[in-house]
Amino acid sequence: MSYPLNPQLFDEDVTQEPTRAGFGRGLKEAGEKNEAVVALCADLTESTQMHLFKEAFPKRFVEIGVAEQNLVTVASGMARAGKIPFTSSYAAFSPGRNWEQIRTTIALNNMPVKIVGSHAGVSVGPDGATHQMLEDIALMRVLPRMVVIAPGDSIEAQKATLAIAENGQPSYIRLAREKTPIFSLEESPFEIGKAYILKEGNDVSLMGTGTMTYELLVAAKILAGSGINAEVVHVPTIKPLDEDTILASAQKTGRVITAEEAQVIGGFGSAIAELLSEKLPMPVKRFGMQDRFGESGAPAQLFKEFGLTGEQIAVQIQEWCKDTPRYHQT
Amino acid sequence: MLEEAGSGHSAGPLGMADIFAALYFSILNLHPDDPEWPDRDIFFLSNGHTVPVQYAAMAEAGFFPKEELMTLRKFGSRLQGHPERDRLPGLENTSGPLGSGLSQAAGYAYTLQYIDDVRHRFVYVMMGDGELNEGNIWEAAMFAGKNKLSQLIGFIDRNNIQIDGNTEDVMPLEDLKGKWESFGWHVIEIDGHNIESIIDAASQGRAVTNRPTMIIAHTIPGKGVDFMEYDYHWHGGAPGTGVPNHEQAKIALEKLRTLDGKIVPEGAGL
C-alpha cells in the first residue's frame, strides 16, 4: 500500500502550517479523549500552541513561569499522581536546560511525561543561535526509555501528539515555529516506531526526519529529471527506529542519504549510521548542521546558508552518487 | 549497612533517624502491605543520598524483610545506592541528583488540590540543607507559594553540613526561615531529634489550609555517635570518606544502642 501524499505537494501555493499548530490541536483532542491529560507551560503558552488546551481545560492547565527545571519535575510529580503531563517550552530550554531532571525524574523514574520542544532548528530564524535548538535529538535519543518523534508536517504532529498521549512512556516531540508544506493527508498513516516509504526508487534512499522530509521529496523530484530514481523514506520516529523499513530500503538501493534540521553529530543521521554500520554497512551521507551553530536571518536564507534546501541537496546527491558506488551484498 | 556496603553517607541518615521514625510510625498514612494504596500519603525523598535511613524505616515498618537491608548498594539489590522507584515498592520517586524532590512533591500536591479535589491526602518531602543551593528548589518554592499548596509539607534536615564543609561557609542559607516565609510558606522550626515536636509540626502543617508548610528540623549530623557528630567529614560523597570501618561501625552501633535517655524532650520549638 502506498503512502497517500498531498496531491498539491509541489504546487506553489501548497498549504503550509507550522508543526506546532498540529500539536496544539492534537493536545486539545487528547484532552477531550482522556481526562488524565494535563498540560504545563513555561511562560510560552501561545507560542507553543498550548492555549487551545488551556482554554478548553483551564483546570488541567498549569502555568509554571520561566522555570524549565520546575516544569519537568512538577510534571514528574503529577505523573506519579496518575496524570499524563505534556510540558512545553522552546526546545532550547526544554530539554536544553533541564536535561538532568528529565533523565532522573522522568526517564529513570519511568514516568509518562511528554516533553514538547517547540521552535527547534535553524528555521526559528531572526532569534539567532541561542534559540535555534539543534542538539535536542542527540540529547533525547540517548536516554533509555525515551521515545523521540519529529513530525513531518502539522497533520502528522497532531497524530503524533495523540499517539504519545496514550503510549505510557516518557516521550519527546520536536516541533518547528515556521510554516512548512503539508505533504501528508488526514488518511496518511502514523504509528510510533514506523517509517514510511513516501516514494519508491532504486538508486538511493533519502531518509528524512521532521520537516526535512519535504526537502527530500523536492530533491527526489529534481533527481528524477537527471535519471536518478530516489526512494524517499520518512522517519518521524527517531527512537525507536523502524529498523525493518530502513534496512529494507537500504538493502534495495545500496546508498543512504539522511536529512535533519539538527546536528548530524548525535542526531538522526547518527542514528541511521549507527544502525547501518552494525547491520548493513554501506555508504551514507548526512545532511543537517555540520558541527556548527546557526545565526540570525530569515529562515529561507539560513536554509540556503546551511545547504538544507531540496535543490541544494539534489545537487549534492548527484555529485555524491557519481563517486559513490551502490553497495551490493554478496 | 554502610560498613557492609563499603560506601555511602553516614552523617545525614543518622541525623534524620528520628524524623524517619516519626514519619513511618506516626505521620504517614500508609499500608506497607499495599504500597500503591490509593488513599495513602505520599513521601518524596529529595536528598536521595540519605536513603539508607529511609530503607531502614521502611523495613522496620514492614515494606520488605529487614535482612534485605544488608544488600544495600550491592549488585542485584532493590536497595540501590540512590533510591529508584521502579525497583522497590513503597518508594514514590527516584532521586540522587539534588534539588528536584520539592518540585515533584509540589506537582503531586497540585494534582490533589486543584485537579482531583482530594483533600484528605498529604504530600511530604524531605530535603537536605546543602541541596538548598540548587536553583530548582527555589523554582519549586515559588510555585508552591503561588498556588498555596496546603497539602504540601516539607522537611529540611538542617544539620549545617555539606560535602565541602559547613553550609554557612560553602554557601550561606540564613536567614532560612525568612527566605521560606517570603516565598509564601508557613515555617516551623523544631528540634529534629524530639519525636513529639516532629509529630506536632506535621500536624500543624496539615492544619494550615492556606499555605504550604516547611519544617526546618535542626539536627545533629551523625547523631548518637559522638565521633561522627557535627563533623562534615562523615557526610560522605568523596571517595573513601563518610563510611565507618569495621571497628568504627562496631563502636557506633554500641553507642546507638545506648541512646535511651540521652535524647532530651525539651526544645519543642513551637
Give A128 or B263, the one with higher predicted confidence: A128
Which single residue is written with the C-alpha cell 524530639? B194
What is the mean predicted confidence (pLDDT) over B15-38?
Answer: 96
- Cite the DSSP H helix spans in A116-211: 136-141, 154-165
Q: Going by C-beta distance under 8 Å and a sequence separation of 6 or more, which residues neighbour residue B74? A: B5
**Crossing angle of the two packed helices A243-253 and A268-279, in degrees rounded to 10:** 70
Provide the number of CB pairs (under 8 Å) joining chain A to chain B: 100
**Pick from B16, B182, B7, B168: nearest CA to B82:** B7
Interface check for B114 against chain A (CB to CB < 8 A): the answer is: yes
Residue B128 has pLDDT above 70, yes or no: yes
Interface check for A189 against chain B (CB to CB < 8 A): the answer is: no
Q: How far apart are CA B97 and CA B79, in angstroms?
A: 17
Question: Left, alpha or beta for B266 (phi > 0: left; psi -120 to 50: alpha)?
Answer: beta
Interface check for B87 against chain A (CB to CB < 8 A): the answer is: no
Cα distances from A170 to residues A72, A108, B3, in angstroms, run 11, 10, 37
Angstroms from B62 CA to nearest CA on chain A:
22
Q: Going by C-beta distance under 8 Å and a sequence separation of 6 or more, which residues neighbour residue A59? A: B114, B115
B246 grid coordinates: 569495621
pLDDT attached to residue B194: 96
What is the mean predicted confidence (pLDDT) over B162-175?
Answer: 94
- Cite the DSSP H helix spans in A81-131: 99-101
Cα distances from B80 to residues A203, B72, B142, in angstroms, run 52, 6, 32
A74 grid coordinates: 512538577
Residue B262 has pLDDT above 60, yes or no: no
Angstroms from A103 CA to nearest CA on chain B:
10
Give the residue from A57, A69, A94 with the most B CB atoms within 10 Å of its CB, the best one to mutate.
Answer: A69
Burial class from Cβ neighbours inside 10 Å (0-12, 13-18, 19+) for residue B235 reads: buried
Query: Where would I find the beta strands (DSSP E) of chain B?
Result: 42-45, 123-128, 152-158, 161-162, 165-166, 186-191, 213-218
Smallest Cβ–Cβ distance between B100 and the set A65, A80, A105 belongs to: A105
pLDDT attached to residue B260: 53
pLDDT (tens digit, 9 = 90+) per residue, A46-65?
A: 999 999 999 999 999 999 99
Residue B137 has pLDDT above 70, yes or no: yes
pLDDT attached to residue B266: 43
Its ipTM equals: 0.95
CATH number for A196-323 (one of 3.40.50.920, 2.130.10.10, 3.40.50.1950, 3.40.1710.10): it is: 3.40.50.920
Domains delineated in chain B: 2-257 (3.40.50.970)
Strands B161-162 and B165-166, how do they pair? antiparallel
B22 grid coordinates: 516519626
Cα distances from A290 to residues A222, A240, A259, A305, in angstroms, run 24, 24, 11, 12
Q: Going by C-beta distance under 8 Å and a sequence separation of 6 or more, which residues neighbour residue B111? A: A38, A77, A78, A81, A82, A83
Q: Which amino acid is at B162?
A: Q
Contact state of B85 with A82 under an 8 Å Cβ cutoff: no
Q: What is the DSSP letter of A325?
A: P
**Pick from B10, B74, B1, B55: nearest CA to B237:** B10
Smallest Cβ–Cβ distance between A78 and the set B95, B110, B142 belongs to: B110
**In chain A, where are the structural domains located?**
16-181, 196-323
Interface check for A89 against chain B (CB to CB < 8 A): the answer is: no
What is the mean predicted confidence (pLDDT) over B132-141?
Answer: 98
**Pick from A272, A41, A266, A44: nearest CA to A135:** A266
Interface check for B105 against chain A (CB to CB < 8 A): the answer is: yes
Residues of chain A with pLDDT under 50: none
Q: How many CA atoms lie within 13 A of A256 on its CB side?
A: 30
Residue B159 has pLDDT above 60, yes or no: yes
Contact state of A69 with B96 under an 8 Å Cβ cutoff: no
A323 grid coordinates: 563517486
Residue of chain A nearest B41, judged by CA positions: A81
- Cite the DSSP H helix spans in chain A: 19-33, 51-56, 68-80, 99-101, 136-141, 154-165, 212-225, 243-253, 268-279, 299-305, 310-323
Q: How far apart are CA B109 and CA B111, in angstroms?
A: 5
pLDDT attached to residue B267: 43
pLDDT (tens digit, 9 = 90+) per residue, A141-194?
A: 999 999 999 999 999 999 999 999 999 999 999 999 999 999 999 999 999 999
Angstroms from B194 CA to nearest CA on chain A:
30
What is the mean predicted confidence (pLDDT) over B225-232?
Answer: 86
pLDDT attached to residue A137: 98
Which single residue is written with the C-alpha cell 513561569? A65
**Pick from A176, A171, A190, A177: nearest CA to A86:** A171
pTM value > 0.90: yes
**Pick from A159, A153, A203: nearest CA to A178:** A153
B63 grid coordinates: 515494606
Residue of chain B nearest A102, judged by CA positions: B100
Residue A121, φ and ψ in degrees, nearest 5: 90, 170
Task: Name B157's bridge partners.
Answer: B128, B217
Considering the segment(s) A16-181 as one domain, its CATH architecture is: 3-Layer(aba) Sandwich (3.40)
Give the residue from B36, B46, B122, B139 with the most A CB atoms within 10 Å of its CB, the best one to mutate.
Answer: B139
Q: Going by C-beta distance under 8 Å and a sequence separation of 6 or more, which residues neighbour residue B226? A: B255
pLDDT attached to residue B263: 46
Interface check for A87 against chain B (CB to CB < 8 A): the answer is: no
SS percent in chain B: helix, strand, coil, step 5: 40, 15, 45
Q: Do domains A16-181 and A196-323 have the same CATH topology?
A: yes
